[in-house]
Chains A and B, each alone.
Chain A
Amino acid sequence: MAYEPVLTRYVREPNSFTLEHYLQHQRGYEGLRTALGRAPGDIIEQVKASGLRGRGGAGFPTGLKWQFVLKDTPKPKYICCNADESEPGTFKDHVLMERNPHLLIEGCAIACYAIGAKVAYIYIRGEFYHVQQVLEAEIAKAYAAGYLGKNIFGSGFDCDVFVHRGAGAYEAGEETALIESLEGKRAQPRLKPPFPAVAGLYQCPTAVNNVETLCNVPPIVLNGAEWFAALGPEKNGGPKLYCVSGHVKRPGVYEATMHTTLRELIYDERFAGGMLDERPLKAIIPGGSSVPLLLPDELDTPASFDHVQKAGSLLGSAGMIVLNDTVCMVWLAQNLLHFYRHESCGKCTPCREGGDWLYKLLQRVESGEGREKDIDLLYGVASNITGKTLCAFGDAAATPVLTTIARFRAEFEAHVREGRCTIPAEWRARQPMLAGHH
């Protein structure tokens, strides 16, 4: 039986974002009404039982995260919705917020009820100005209809949802940097512990959840944990959004279960529909730019958290970057490091200093000026970053270097040997812009 999308079924319809459409077609706010009729602890138990895992990158079980939120405290608690979506190759939250905003709003309200919060902040990426407009207009409608605000459904439960637009920094998507930014400070991460569940926003217990994660909550409440878990492989249940980009015929956001393999996502007519110009696949980055490459012989891996990890990469944000044989792997690493060196928050030494150094080395090798020892140096510098930084950004920045050298060392050697890129010039994508270069 063909999979019927849950989160994105109506997004192509012109009015999918309106409250009326949501009420009419998606049993809008019935999940919230149902939840308010039960104990908050029940909701947490149900989400735990569903096996819902965070869609922001780490795949941490959402119910567990909510359970960790400190209960016995006189302080207020908060839900922070991570809508910073800045991982290269990732563009799914954007679609949900723009085309199905009430699903997120309802998810925020249920999450607040479950952890005992009264306020949710949606921290939205600085560039998503238009999306913010849509969200705010729809939030206003939800208030007017009594789905937000005081005494929702006469239950005594109050809930406010605010949208806060960031200033455009990838690192602001790291959960503690997000909290700092929300507090009006520089988007730099905090030391953990304490975790946000204990001391988050304004030092109060906080759960940070991705947009897609929260959008899965109303369907779980409505359809039950078993329904959700049964949709995918064990511990990888529920609907999943995949952002397929790169050298494919139809790049886009596709909803599927995590049974779906990488091959299907690239070649199946329901999804990206095959390689662009029928060129051969060279590699795929399955989880946004921060995860290791997979090669064509790994394409039958189901795109689930656990299967992709077992194959040696990570599902991450499910941003599938598909690369064909025209891509120079040195250039790829350089392109990505251009991003990471520009986005490093600069707080800790290895990432601040090492990222820039890696970029310079890659530029040298890519331009044909590199020396034999630069390859080992690249690998050594990247290894010196990995695992030594304050936040996971450092690992993310080192990964493109480590994975391209591990998998395509010969291309690096060819650059050094020939003194130039060995990919035919007409194939090569354009050089990255040197914005922000010091």
Chain B
Amino acid sequence: METVTLTIDGRPVTVDKGKTVLQAAIESGISVPYYCYHPGLGVDGSCRVCIVKIEKMPKLQTSCSTTCADGMVVTTRDEDVVKARAGIFEFLLVNHPLDCPVCDKGGECPLQDFSYAFGPAESRMDFPRRVFDGEGVKADVDFGPTLMLNRNRCILCTRCVRFMREVEGDAQIGIVDRGNGSEIATFREEGVHSLLSGNLMDVCPVGAITTRDYRFKSRPWDNPNVVDTICTRCSKGCSTSAWLKAKPEWARGSQLIRMTPRYNPAVNDYWMCDIGRFGYHWIEGEQRLRRPMVRRGSALESCAWHDVLPKVREQIQQAGTADPSSVRFLVSAHAATEELFVLRQTIDGLMGADARGSVSLTWARSEKTQPAGTRFVVPATDAPNVRGAHDLGFAVGAGHDGAPDLGALRAAVEGGRVRVLYVIDPGPDGSLGDVAWVAAARRAGTLPFLVVQGVVRHDLVEAADVVLPGATSTEKDALYTNDQGMVQPSSRAILPPGEAQEDWRILVSVARALGLSLSYDSSDAVRVALAAAMPGTAYAGAGAVTFSRPIPSRNWLQASNPSERWKWDFMFQDLPPVKGHSVQMEGVPVKDIIPLKPTQA
């Protein structure tokens, strides 16, 4: 890659050719504010806060739209720039409602933070602010099924407009009217209808676009921890962050508070879809399986792990002795690679590698309705690990792009040739696809024994003889292989509920009960064995994969966007001394002072 070297604030900075001055500043930790710029969107040059002085140019230039050149001399903090920039910040707040205390963005708002760092101490504006929709009360309007829009807060950076046009591929958001009356709007106020709508909350630098899901639920400082993980709702495997609300042991309510995308140029860039973003409530939902259960007559009753395992062993051994092919496994492609590996070892150990055909992989598919030109395609396969199952040597129907093939299994079950069906189902309800025929076979008496190792109580669970509570991907460290063949770690953010166990552990217990000597005591140990068993493949490094632990989350932006991450890592802590504090506070360390205007002190 060709590079250019320029000077910013006296520092030589070398960047790849083609980068803008703003990007060069961000890369080298020099603070230049920006709103309309977003690394995942086209340059707009409209907010004007990124202005800098460049030698030999007659006027101040917007750094986001100026390409670096060799020998360029840039100044970001001399008097002219500081004054001009402060003027623009003053303009940005002329009509902004400053309702930060009741705004969802409060505490993680680039408008707040940059204004503190670069704005004037006080605004000279003393006219009533512009309000849309009348008296300020109706400022909040529905913005489609997932979002809310508050036009009063909008600073017209057009990031949302450009996201819809450039990424979503359907320009649903536009600006109507002009000048000072410009407002964000959709056709006939219909709002945004998009599988990618949640990203609009991410790109909006103020609290103008918020999600209904997160709205009023929490404040940034209530979410002290974040876990870097991946989404397992489809075969794409977007990098995400799972946000954890701090709550005392005894408090009710969920701990997972939101999911946000994490920048990954190889998979998802800065984005994720709404299925992954909003579809996490089931994980801590009422329908979760918390204890093992066995059937007594028509009812399922809770029991202890040590009581339930012998039952499973008994049935498998009996059936296996009579006819090895009468023991079959129906496995969701939500099963992690570790789980599939333990299952493979169990089958190989008990019945030999030829018996791997006793495992049928299954998953759900749904064609997503997306604009033809979208830059972010959500795959039809609603499971994270079809590729992983394939790589481990299991038959996977038409593969990760196609449908599962359960025809043979179904015929065997309906023909009464299966005595024990062991279902592994660590995904959300519905992720097995159409398996109503299993419960039907139970009712018809053709399937004598059904084991369900799962996470939510659904129809198949109701038909089971034994229920083993497992863990969702959010509750375990595990590997999944996405549709590009990338082996990706998904990290544990919370613990499995009640007595539920990580699925690899359940499978090891079952294998042991069946007499196999598997000695894994952690999922790490499983991965080490997996790596050893698959040298020369994408799994060879599995033993050394590291997983994220809850890390302080100062801000969601840091995770989704490296330039924002820079801002929070570098600048947020580096705020200039508090302005205009009172004389009584003289001598008090600056970090202990909450900024107030002198008139309020």
Contact = CB atoms under 8 A, between A and B. Distances in A.
Contacts of B130: 356, 438
Interface string B9-46: 00000000000000000000000000000000001111
Contacts, number: 95
Nearest to B58: A387
A345 B158 CA distance: 14
Nearest to A346: B182
Contact of A344 (B87, B91, B92, B180): B180
Contact of B48 (A186, A345, A388, A436): A388
Contacts of B575: none
B60 interface: yes
Interface of A: 169, 171, 186, 191, 341-350, 352-357, 360, 377, 380-381, 383-384, 387-390, 436, 438
B38 to A, nearest CB: 15
Contact of B180 (A191, A341, A390): A341
B48 A342 contact: no
B127 A388 contact: no
B47 A349 contact: yes
A387 B45 CA distance: 14
A343 B182 CA distance: 11
B87 A388 contact: yes
A404 B125 CA distance: 21
B296 interface: no
A355 B95 CA distance: 13
Given A348-B48, A388-B51, 13 more contacts: A345-B179, A346-B175, A346-B178, A346-B181, A350-B88, A353-B180, A355-B180, A357-B94, A377-B124, A381-B124, A384-B91, A388-B87, A438-B181
Interface of B: 43-49, 51, 59-60, 62, 65, 84, 87-88, 90-92, 94-95, 124-125, 127, 130, 155-156, 175, 177-182
Nearest to B130: A438
A343 B125 contact: no
A357 B125 contact: yes
Contacts of B175: 186, 346
Given A348-B46, A350-B88, A388-B48, A191 B65 contact: yes
Nearest to B155: A349
Contacts of B60: 387-388
Nearest to B80: A387
A349 B49 contact: yes
Given A343-B179, A346-B180, A388-B51, A353 B92 contact: yes
Query: 10 tightest A-B contacts by CB?
Result: A384-B87, A346-B182, A344-B179, A353-B91, A356-B180, A191-B45, A346-B179, A353-B94, A438-B181, A348-B46
Nearest to A351: B179
Contacts of B48: 348-350, 388-390
B43 A191 contact: yes
B179 A350 contact: no
A384 B84 contact: yes
A438 B180 contact: yes
B91 A350 contact: yes
Contacts of B91: 349-350, 352-354, 357, 384
A355 B179 contact: yes
Nearest to A357: B94
Nearest to A191: B45
Contacts of A341: 179-180
Contacts of A354: 91, 94
A387 B180 contact: no
B431 to A, nearest CB: 44
A362 to B, nearest CB: 12
Nearest to B128: A360
A390 B59 CA distance: 11
A150 B180 CA distance: 47
Contacts of A390: 45-46, 48
Most B CB within 10 A of own CB, among A191, A344, A347:
A347
Contacts of A191: 43-45, 62, 65
A388 B259 CA distance: 38
A355 B178 CA distance: 12
A354 B92 CA distance: 9
Contacts of B87: 350, 383-384, 388
A349 B46 contact: yes
Contacts of A343: 178-179
A344 B51 contact: no
13 contacts: A169-B178, A346-B181, A347-B46, A348-B48, A350-B48, A352-B180, A353-B91, A353-B95, A354-B91, A357-B127, A384-B84, A384-B87, A384-B91
